[in-house]
Amino acid sequence: MQSKSLDRPEPGVELRLEIQALTAEHAWRLDHGAADTLHELYTRDGELLGLPPSDLVGRDAIAAWGAARVQLPRVSRHVETNHRLWWSEEGLRGTLYASVFRSETTDAVDTTPLMVGDYEDLYAKEEGRWRIRSRVIRKAFRAVR
Amino acid sequence: MQSKSLDRPEPGVELRLEIQALTAEHAWRLDHGAADTLHELYTRDGELLGLPPSDLVGRDAIAAWGAARVQLPRVSRHVETNHRLWWSEEGLRGTLYASVFRSETTDAVDTTPLMVGDYEDLYAKEEGRWRIRSRVIRKAFRAVR
Amino acid sequence: MQSKSLDRPEPGVELRLEIQALTAEHAWRLDHGAADTLHELYTRDGELLGLPPSDLVGRDAIAAWGAARVQLPRVSRHVETNHRLWWSEEGLRGTLYASVFRSETTDAVDTTPLMVGDYEDLYAKEEGRWRIRSRVIRKAFRAVR
């Protein structure tokens, strides 16, 4: 997925910031009790891969996961940095780094991240808005708890 | 504070980057011995809320706090990510995530953040520059030390 | 290096995002097995300073370091935030915060950063592209391992 299409221009500033806003909104909903609306940020055939226990394929699967996720007392922050964006043959590709802080109780005192790694994203425009078509989670560091 | 004003346009790229520069400058001054100039980045009626032991209301209160803060041997880094920005009925609103690394001595060897959470900001233009009118600190994770 | 040149304009949005893309690319190559191409992101007289055991001066020195670095089984993520950018008398200056996660083995389970600090950068345009002319690493927090 690293190959860039040389005959395509670099993504412009408006597109870069729109994608950053999309990924920040994704993290915000997940971290602030709105995981049940997360599927709105994916295309209809959107995928979230590399998430235990199983991959989520299609917006309906993501909606079902989010409806269960929002019931948990979990505290989380998905800290996102190092955005990269380019046009590939499949469309608009991006990567970002994620540091995921997580507690299964509302007494959140462990400030070491559960994982530090990458999101490998493919984006597509649907109904006039950029959405996530595919996100692959790649863990680099994983805390033993 | 999550409600967006639907009849207002999305903030443009220049405004987004100007606000990001403002918040990065705020962190830099705080972390590099210039807390005594921090109040310049707030409006005259600016507020910094959720900061122990007490809220700071008005630029003078922030200036007094900064003048004391700059005397401490504290080492800190306020790591800021996940910027969101939108027009609300009260004006320009934003949120960002903050991971705060802090040591009370110059021998800074603890690389776990003291807190991970959110800043909920309101911005206003004063004397031709965007400034912070209100910042609320919301801790999500807090280390026990 | 903090002095800003008052008679120069603020860097524009395209330049800001181009520099952010450059620094994200630098981190990506370092963290994904491509340190042997890192020197391409520096000017011919480029420098990487503050890196133990010795400073790297000139693109050839960086290339030699990268060729050795890419052989290590090291896992790393250079998490970059808090970008600042301004025109100085020497040219385009920037700072960013870096949190460096690192493991010397592929079994990467320690999610506390090895260091948290700053990069102090000078950029220059060479052969039509912005590159790093000088990067100084300043550690603020350093884990004892």
* Separation of alpha carbons B133 and A135, rounded Å: 36
* Separation of alpha carbons B135 and B55, rounded Å: 10
Q: Averaged over C107-119, what is the pLDDT?
A: 95
* Separation of alpha carbons C130 and B39, rounded Å: 34
Length of chain C in residues, anyone? 145
Q: Averaged over B81-109, what is the pLDDT?
A: 96
Are B110 and C83 a contacting pair at CB < 8 A? no
- Interface test mutation site (partner A, options C14, C17, C106, max chain A beta carbons within 10 A): C17
| CA distances to C41, C61, C69, C120 from C58, in Å | 12, 5, 17, 17
pLDDT at position B4 is: 56
CB distance from B101 to chain C under 8 Å?
yes
CB distance from A13 to chain B under 8 Å?
yes
- Provide the pLDDT confidence category of residue B107 given band limits of 50, 70 and 90: confident
Q: What is the mean pLDDT of chain C?
A: 94
- Choose the closest CB to C109 out of A13, A16, A141: A141
pLDDT at B7 over 80: no
pLDDT at B83 over 80: yes
Q: Averaged over A112-131, what is the pLDDT?
A: 97
pLDDT at position C1 is: 44
- Choose the closest CB to C81 out of B79, B103, B111: B79
DSSP 8-state class, residue C10: P
Tokens (6 digits) for B70: 């700059």
Q: What is the pLDDT of residues A93-117, one digit of tens each?
A: 999 999 999 999 888 999 999 999 9
CB distance from C138 to chain B under 8 Å?
no
Q: What is the mean pLDDT of chain B?
A: 94
Are A141 and C81 a contacting pair at CB < 8 A? no
Residue with structure tokens 């992101």? Answer: C41
Can you name the residues that pair with A100 across neighbouring β-strands? A78, A115
CA A23-A28-A32 angle, to 5 degrees, is 160
Q: What percent of chain C has pLDDT over 70?
A: 95
pLDDT at A32 over 80: yes
Q: Averaged over C29-46, what is the pLDDT?
A: 98
Tokens (6 digits) for C21: 């893309």
pLDDT at position C45 is: 97
Q: Averaged over C44-67, what is the pLDDT?
A: 95
Helices (H), chain C: 13-31, 59-69
Q: What is the pLDDT of residues A59-94, one digit of tens each?
A: 999 999 999 999 999 999 999 999 999 999 999 999
pLDDT at position B1 is: 44
- Interface test mutation site (partner C, options B77, B102, B105, B141, max chain C beta carbons within 10 A): B77
Instruction: Give the H/E segment covering residue A145.
Output: none
CA distance C109 to chain A (A): 5
Give the range among A131-135, B140-144, C106-110 with minimum mean pLDDT. Answer: C106-110
Q: Which position has the higher pLDDT, A9 or C60?
A: C60
pLDDT at position C6 is: 54
Q: What is the pTM of this model?
A: 0.95
pLDDT at C13 over 50: yes
Give the sign of the dihedral formed by CA C31, CA C36, CA C37, CA C38.
positive
| CA distances to A57, A99, A137, C99, C119 from B109, in Å | 43, 20, 30, 13, 18
Q: What is the pLDDT of residues B22-40, one digit of tens each?
A: 999 999 999 999 999 999 9
- Choose the closest CB to A27 out of B13, B17, B82: B82
pLDDT at position A60 is: 97
- Decide: A62 and A48 in contact? Cβ < 8 Å: yes
pLDDT at position B51 is: 87
pLDDT at C120 over 50: yes
pLDDT at A56 over 60: yes
Q: Please state the ipTM of this predicted complex.
A: 0.94
pLDDT at position A1 is: 44
pLDDT at C17 over 50: yes
Judging contacts by C-beta atoms under 8 Å, the chain C residues touching residue B28 are: 82, 84, 95
* Separation of alpha carbons A141 and A121, rounded Å: 19
- Provide the pLDDT confidence category of residue B5 given band limits of 50, 70 and 90: low
CB distance from A143 to chain B under 8 Å?
no
pLDDT at position B53 is: 85
CB distance from B126 to chain C under 8 Å?
no
Q: How far is CA C124 from the centre of its chain?
A: 14
